[in-house]
Amino acid sequence: MYNIWKFSLTNGLTALASFIVSFMILIISHSCALGLFSIIIAPLIGGFLASYMVLFLLEDGDLAYLAQTFWHTLLLGITISLIVAVGFVCTISQHYLFF
């Protein structure tokens, strides 16, 4: 039961941290006019770093748990970042299309 709660906490914090970091990077990239390529690539790096930091902060010496959830957590963070980036780009392009 402990691993289920820890797994849920890890996934929830990863999704939240990845969303926040990706959104902050997107706002900075957009305000600095860094281009579409960096708007897509930069949040992926942010999602990777956010999920790695969540794993680092929640790691309590249980290396088996860390090895079991490492790739899943990183993929979750990168996926959330990609969804945020694509949604942001679609919103911005719709804004410029209609206004």
- Per-residue pLDDT tens over the stretch 37-85: 667 777 777 777 787 777 777 766 666 666 677 777 778 888 888 888 7
Our count of domains for the chain comes to 1
pLDDT reported for residue 2: 62
Q: How many CB atoms lie within 10 A of CB 92?
A: 14
pLDDT reported for residue 19: 83
Domain membership flag for residue 8: no
pLDDT reported for residue 8: 77
Domain membership flag for residue 87: yes
What contacts 66, CB < 8 A, 6 or more positions away? Answer: 55, 59
Residue carrying structure tokens 């990239």: 29
Question: In which domain, by residue range, is 89 found?
Answer: 31-99
pLDDT in tens, 9-41: 777 888 888 888 888 887 777 777 666 666 777
pLDDT reported for residue 23: 81
Domain membership flag for residue 74: yes
Token pair listed for 95: 């804004």
pTM: 0.68
pLDDT reported for residue 75: 80
